[in-house]
């Protein structure tokens, strides 16, 4: 018995009963004889003391032993490899019927049409009150953690029923495929595939890889030099196009093969174009243009397009949406005063003799140049160590200070507080305190400025001294890389996995931002989905601060989507992959089952040994569970009955003597 109060509270309860009974039967004049008063007082004392004691909320502690039947899990493999075997109709119903009343039975299944994970079913029941597991499977495990690793940790026996056929069959198949799921555009990526064949010694097949359009990318003859043959074929493919690409691998069939379905593989690679596309807008042809293109493109992460302002204004060039930076050379000018086509892009201005300074100042870029005289200065660079927007190599800074001068229009500069000077302008060995190269990261559109033309002379001089353009090129990379970093977000964003398993849910999520870049769920988001032969439209459902869309079951293939909302678009692609690994291997692995049984203290049975298995399981002993049970005495019926009995006896005695 347990109470949460000091022990002397029990004495106080007894004292309360004595005082209550004493006052009731011995205070004042009583008509009852003394012996009856003592008896009635005793009954009332015990009842009141018991009630007071129960108000202390005492609990009683009891040790309870419970008996439970042993828990047996019957798990059957329903994967495709079993379905294609002679044991496809095997059932565990006979085992469940024989154990009824002797064991608690749980039924489970594992495996799919595409794969089998034996370890998953073992892990699923590892933490329960299981006495034994019965696995009915062919032992073909092709996904997830190795079942032997999990079996070593199990506290109960696993009995295996060996299904399927271990006899080798005349067949060839494509087995393990190893390939990068992501590749960079223009790079080669490695592919390795295992080709296995059984009972086909002396014959051979052609291994071919094609792209989505059917164009052959790789082909090699594979000779089966033994009846039990396996080899790894390694080769490389070129990531020629950006986006999610589908590749088909085919192993030609030999007459008499068991099935042709395991001679093909489809795999997907997400080819990412990591190059930044830069457009150079120029007022007119100039040697700087070729120098800029060659310098920036010496870094494989950049691609440069040169566009003359005449081409833009005549409509011969159309703006794309994949440019990350605009370089404006001698723009705006008197001939081409508008540079609106570069709005929204990060910008680098190369300010030369043809730049219209008044129109340039009207752009409010953070740099203004006031000039009253139309003349040019020859200025060289002087490094400003206080520049903090990005870091330039000290050797590069020293080299640029020694290069020939740039030709800059005369003027006086006014910089906003956000503009920092990387190189100042030096005129005839005098520091003019004017900027030669400057940059700003203020707001969402970054800008940089080169106040002078003649960058081609810098590259030539760098090569003459160092036999390399590396110093100038590296400086221009850094300037482009810094300026091209945009903090602007796409207003509509859609999240999708690169690939989904066939039959698994395909869930897409979306977010939409308003003009202030705050999440909104007011407009509808429509999704246009196109596959190999189908085109469908769906509406996203609102969910919290975003949207979700659960697509119906999709067949294997490559799907492209386009989301549209409030004038904004987002597009992408994903693949639905059929897991055909069950078809690649149809020979049962009873050795794995024997290992699992041995590690857990179980046994291996065949379908015709079900009676022996049920006898083994019937011998499992019931499980006795001993636990401590705590009961609130205030809710115990016996305590209530005792109080009622005491008070009733008191009432009967008083009634008998006529005192009530």
Say if 156 falls within a structural domain. Answer: yes
Q: Cis peptide before 332, with omega less than 30 degrees from 0?
A: yes
Say if 3 falls within a structural domain. Answer: no
Q: If pLDDT is split at 50, 70 and 90, which confidence band does 113 have?
A: low
What CA–CA distance (Å, rounded) separates 224 from 260? 17
Q: Has residue 489 got a pLDDT over 60?
A: no
The predicted pLDDT at position 585 comes to 66
Residues 439, 297, single domain; the answer is yes
Say if 415 falls within a structural domain. Answer: yes
The predicted pLDDT at position 216 comes to 94
Question: How large is the average pLDDT for residues 197-203?
Answer: 89
Residues 293, 438, single domain; the answer is yes
Q: Has residue 315 got a pLDDT over 90?
A: no
Longest dimension (CA), the chain: 136
Residues 639, 543, single domain; the answer is no
Residues 474, 560, single domain; the answer is no
Q: Has residue 290 got a pLDDT over 80?
A: yes
Q: If pLDDT is split at 50, 70 and 90, which confidence band does 640 have?
A: confident
Residues 428, 562, single domain; the answer is no
Residues 336, 463, single domain; the answer is yes
CB contact set of 428 (below 8 Å; sequence gap of 6+) = none
Q: If pLDDT is split at 50, 70 and 90, which confidence band does 584 have?
A: low
Task: Please state, as a whole number, how many other Cβ atoms lie within 10 Å of the Cβ of residue 391.
Answer: 8
The predicted pLDDT at position 444 comes to 62
The predicted pLDDT at position 529 comes to 93
Phi, psi dihedral angles at 205 (to 5 degrees): -150, 165
**Most confident of the following: 156-170, 390-404, 525-539, 637-651:** 390-404
What CA–CA distance (Å, rounded) separates 498 from 574? 5
Domain C-terminal end among 484, 519, 542: 484
Domain that holds residue 502: 492-577
The total number of structural domains in the chain stands at 5
Of residues 348 and 12, which shows the higher confidence score?
Answer: 348
Tell me the percentage of the chain whose pLDDT exceeds 70.
95
CATH number where 340 lies: 3.40.50.880
Residue 284 CA, distance from chain mean position:
49
Residues 158, 251, single domain; the answer is no
Q: Has residue 310 got a pLDDT over 80?
A: yes
CATH number where 551 lies: 2.60.40.10
Q: Has residue 436 got a pLDDT over 60?
A: yes
Question: How large is the average pLDDT for residues 231-235?
Answer: 94
Say if 417 falls within a structural domain. Answer: yes
Residues 48, 160, single domain; the answer is no
Say if 319 falls within a structural domain. Answer: yes
By three-state DSSP, how is residue 323 classified? strand
- Whole-Å CA distances, 186 to 166, 464, 572: 46, 32, 20
Instruction: Please list the alpha-helical segments (H only) found in 501-636.
Output: 581-584, 590-600, 610-618
- Return the structure tokens found at 333: 């000018």
Say if 582 falls within a structural domain. Answer: no
Residues 80, 183, single domain; the answer is no
Residues 335, 471, single domain; the answer is yes
Q: Has residue 487 got a pLDDT over 60?
A: no
Q: Report the predicted TM-score, pTM, of the whole model to 2 decimal places.
A: 0.54
Say if 543 falls within a structural domain. Answer: yes
Least confident of 59-68, 441-450, 483-492, 609-618: 483-492
CATH number where 125 lies: 3.40.50.410
Q: If pLDDT is split at 50, 70 and 90, which confidence band does 486 have?
A: low
Task: Please state, as a whole number, how many other Cβ atoms lie within 10 Å of the Cβ of residue 558.
Answer: 20
What CA–CA distance (Å, rounded) separates 642 from 90? 62
Tell me the percentage of the chain whose pLDDT exceeds 90.
40
Give a three-class secondary structure readout of 27-72: CCCCCCCHHHHHHHHHHHHHHHHHHHHHCCCCEEEEEEEEEECCEE
**Mean pLDDT value across the chain:** 87
Q: If pLDDT is split at 50, 70 and 90, which confidence band does 368 have?
A: very high
Say if 55 falls within a structural domain. Answer: yes
Residues 120, 87, single domain; the answer is yes
Question: How large is the average pLDDT for residues 268-288?
Answer: 89
Residues 160, 307, single domain; the answer is no
């Amino acid at each position: 018995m347990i109470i949460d109060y000091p022990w002397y509270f029990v004495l106080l309860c007894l004292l309360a009963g004595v005082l209550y009974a004493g006052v009731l039967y011995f205070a004042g004049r009583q008509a009852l004889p003394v012996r009856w008063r003592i008896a009635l007082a005793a009954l009332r004392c015990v009842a009141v003391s018991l009630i007071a004691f129960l108000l202390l909320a005492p609990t009683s502690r009891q040790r309870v032993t419970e008996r439970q039947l042993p828990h047996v899990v019957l798990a059957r493999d329903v994967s495709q490899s079993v379905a294609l075997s002679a044991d496809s109709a095997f059932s565990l119903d006979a085992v469940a019927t024989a154990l009824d009343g002797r064991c608690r039975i749980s039924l489970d299944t594992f495996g799919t049409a595409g794969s089998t994970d034996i370890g998953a079913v073992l892990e699923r029941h590892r933490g329960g009150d299981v006495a034994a597991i019965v696995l009915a499977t062919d032992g073909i495990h092709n996904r997830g953690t190795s079942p032997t690793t999990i079996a070593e940790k199990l506290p109960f026996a696993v009995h295996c029923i060996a299904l399927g056929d271990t006899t080798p069959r005349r067949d060839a198949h494509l087995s393990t495929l190893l390939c990068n799921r992501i590749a960079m555009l223009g790079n080669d990526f490695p592919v390795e595939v295992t080709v296995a064949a059984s009972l086909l010694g002396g014959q051979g097949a052609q291994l071919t890889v094609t792209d989505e359009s059917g164009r052959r990318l790789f082909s090699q003859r594979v000779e089966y030099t033994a009846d039990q043959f396996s080899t790894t074929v390694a080769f490389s493919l070129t990531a020629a196009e950006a986006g999610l690409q589908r590749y088909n691998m085919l192993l030609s069939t030999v007459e008499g093969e068991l099935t042709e379905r395991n001679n093909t593989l489809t795999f997907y690679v997400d080819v990412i174009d990591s190059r930044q596309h830069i457009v150079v807008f120029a007022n007119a042809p100039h040697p700087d243009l070729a120098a800029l293109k060659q310098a920036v493109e010496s870094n494989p992460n950049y691609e440069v397009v040169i566009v003359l302002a005449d081409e833009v204004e005549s409509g011969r060039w159309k703006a794309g949406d994949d440019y990350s930076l605009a370089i404006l050379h001698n723009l705006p000018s008197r001939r081409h005063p508008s540079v609106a086509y570069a709005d929204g892009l990060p910008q680098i201005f190369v300010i030369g003799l043809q730049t219209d300074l008044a129109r340039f100042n009207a752009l409010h870029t953070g740099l203004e140049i006031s000039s009253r005289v139309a003349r040019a200065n020859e200025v060289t660079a002087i490094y400003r160590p206080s520049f903090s927007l990005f870091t330039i190599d000290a050797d590069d800074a020293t080299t640029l200070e020694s290069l020939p001068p740039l030709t800059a229009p005369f003027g006086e500069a006014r910089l906003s507080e956000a503009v920092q000077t990387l190189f100042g302008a030096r005129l005839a060995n005098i520091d003019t305190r004017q900027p030669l190269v400057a940059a700003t990261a203020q707001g969402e559109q970054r800008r940089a400025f080169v106040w002078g033309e003649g960058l081609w002379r810098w590259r030539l001089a760098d090569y003459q001294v160092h036999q390399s353009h590396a110093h100038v090129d590296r400086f221009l990379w850094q300037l482009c890389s810094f300026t091209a970093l945009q903090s602007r977000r796409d207003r509509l964003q859609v999240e999708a996995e690169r690939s989904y398993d066939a039959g698994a849910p395909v869930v897409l999520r979306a977010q939409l931002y308003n003009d202030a870049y705050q999440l909104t769920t007011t407009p509808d988001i429509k999704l246009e989905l196109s596959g190999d032969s189908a085109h469908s439209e769906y509406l996203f459902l609102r969910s919290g601060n975003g949207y979700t869309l659960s697509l119906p079951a999709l067949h294997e293939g490559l799907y492209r989507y386009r989301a549209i909302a409030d004038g904004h678009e987002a597009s992408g692609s994903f693949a639905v992959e059929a897991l055909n690994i069950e078809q690649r291997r149809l020979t049962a692995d009873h050795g794995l089952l024997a290992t699992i049984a041995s590690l857990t203290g179980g046994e291996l049975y065949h379908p015709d040994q079900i009676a022996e298995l049920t006898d083994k399981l019937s011998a499992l002993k019931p499980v006795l569970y001993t636990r401590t049970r705590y009961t609130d005495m205030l809710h115990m019926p016996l305590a209530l009955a005792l109080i009622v009995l005491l008070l009733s006896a008191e009432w009967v005695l008083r009634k008998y003597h006529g005192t009530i």
